[in-house]
Amino acid sequence: MSRVRVTTGARIHVGFLNLSLAHDRLYGGIGLGLDRPRTVVTASPADSIECDHPVARGYVSRAVARLDVPGAAVTIDAALPRHAGLGSGTQLAGAVLTAVGRAHGMEPDVRALAPALGRGGRSGVGIATFEAGGFVIDAGHPTEQFTPDRPADGAWAVPRVAVRRDLPETWRFLVVIPDTERGRSGDTEEESIRSVVERAAPGTADQVAGAVTRRLLPAVAAGAHKRFGAAIRSIDRLNGTWYADEQGGVYRPPAGQIVAALDDHQACHGVGQSSWGPCVYAVTHADRVDSARAAGHAALDDAGVTGTVLVTTARNRGAGVEPAGHLG
């Protein structure tokens, strides 16, 4: 019997390949794993469920039931900010499932069990980055499967990875998290996505596809961070046009003000809003870290809000699992 610690990073969600019902496949997430901020979960075997974290406790209960184990003592040592656009729910669910399983000598298949935890219903980016990190595009879902509503939890499979590449170690990502209203989740998110999908312009998906194939993928292959950033910016903005009526603009306030400020800074390439925000990100380089960080703080000042600013690398590996001591 042993204690294990699972560590996973955040993820940026740039957008989707398609939100229009006029095309054969719906969604198709585009994103990448970040090394920081992180979620860290420690678990050990137990005869019942022991977890003080209100959100994680639900995942522990599901994990115990799915893995058919008596229980687990789970501690959340670090957690991503909730509903900020960094994938907190999926990373926490994956880390809890992995920690509980490993504590009992099992190696649970996170991808297979994610739907039972209510994760991976639209985008597969969070699960893919939990598994292996890197830059990811998933294959989406057949459109008819998600029309008009998302299937019940467990009635889908997480979208398969269509593209996965390591990102260069010299690339950096500026992350700005304003202290403001959190992004949408739960029933509110469901209603918003349903509204967006029902009226999404199919031509926008064609523009996104062009940017991905002619700009984004070649930039990743060449390791060209400025070209990568420019492509990401275009894709993020195109996705924002789908969401404009739901979030009050191409970017939700105050993310739009932060994006505008960073757009004008020479250290930042490819500024965007991750998921529903309020997190804003920018692509930069190892030799521009200080300048990019200062730009992030200045952007918060321009928007008249406080917040967190960090610069991190991409995470080109999946969740880490290590012993956290042994029980006698």
pLDDT at 327: 46
Q: Please tell me which residue, 116 or 228, carries the higher pLDDT value.
A: 228
Among 86-95, 142-151, 177-186, 319-328, name the most confident range.
Answer: 86-95
pLDDT at 195: 87
194 touches 148 (CB < 8 A): yes
pLDDT at 288: 98
All domains in the chain, ordered by first residue? 2-326 (3.30.70.890)
Asked if residue 115 has a cis previous peptide bond (ω within 30° of 0), the answer is no
**What are the pLDDT digits (tens) for 272-306?**
999 999 999 999 999 999 999 999 999 999 999 99
- pLDDT bin (cut points 50, 70, 90) of residue 267 is very high
Kindly report the backbone phi and psi dihedral angles of residue 155, in degrees, each rounded to the nearest multiple of 5, phi listed first.
-100, 15
**205: Cβ contacts below 8 Å, ≥ 6 apart:** 17, 18, 19, 20, 23
pLDDT at 325: 67
Q: Is the predicted pLDDT of residue 1 greater than 60, yes or no?
A: no
Q: Which of 53, 39, 37 is nearest to 90 (CA)?
A: 39
Q: Please tell me which residue, 304 or 118, carries the higher pLDDT value.
A: 304
Q: Mean pLDDT, the chain, as a whole number?
A: 93
Handedness of CA 173, 118, 157, 206 (dihedral sign): negative
**What are the pLDDT digits (tens) for 131-171?**
999 999 999 999 987 765 666 766 779 999 999 999 999 99
CA distance 176 to 296: 6
How buried is 218 (Cβ within 10 angstroms: 0-12 exposed, 13-18 middle, 19+ buried)?
middle
- pLDDT bin (cut points 50, 70, 90) of residue 328 is very low
- pLDDT bin (cut points 50, 70, 90) of residue 15 is very high
CA distance 282 to 312: 11
Q: Which of 213, 214, 125 is nearest to 161 (CA)?
A: 125
pLDDT at 150: 65
pLDDT at 191: 82
**264: Cβ contacts below 8 Å, ≥ 6 apart:** none
29 touches 125 (CB < 8 A): yes
pLDDT at 154: 64
